[in-house]
Amino acid sequence: MNYEFGFYVFMLAAFLGFELIRKVSPLLHTPLMSLTNAIASISVVGAIILTGEQGGSTLSRVLGFVAVVSATTNLVSGYLITDRMLKMFKKREPGKK
């Protein structure tokens, strides 16, 4: 039984999340949401296992494949647009530091 251990991990990670996010300046809230949205695509891990597993049923392969596609869409677009946004945050016009 690993569930108990899982709950400890969950609790600590949730606290850590609260503390980290509270410190983010409101200036960056949109890129932050975009980034956490991209991190949510970690479900791609489950999707890969499901799709590539030996002895999987057709159902689980089909569902797994669709899950890989949609999680990857989330992942790629999430990371790229976050970076695109952050590239635009500049302090001052160049040369006028």
Residues between 7 and 46 that touch other proteins (CB under 8 A): 9-10, 13-18, 20-46
Could you tell me the smallest distance in angstroms from the CB atom of residue 1 to other proteins? 8
Number of other CB atoms surrounding residue 38 within 10 Å: 19
**CB-based contact 73:97 (threshold 8 Å):** no
Residue 57 within binding range of other proteins, rule CB under 8 A: yes
- Tell me how far CA of residue 81 lies from CA of 69, 87, 93, in angstroms: 18, 10, 23
Residue 90 within binding range of other proteins, rule CB under 8 A: yes
Could you tell me the smallest distance in angstroms from the CB atom of residue 14 to other proteins? 4
Residue 81 within binding range of other proteins, rule CB under 8 A: yes
**CB-based contact 52:61 (threshold 8 Å):** no
Residue 4 within binding range of other proteins, rule CB under 8 A: no
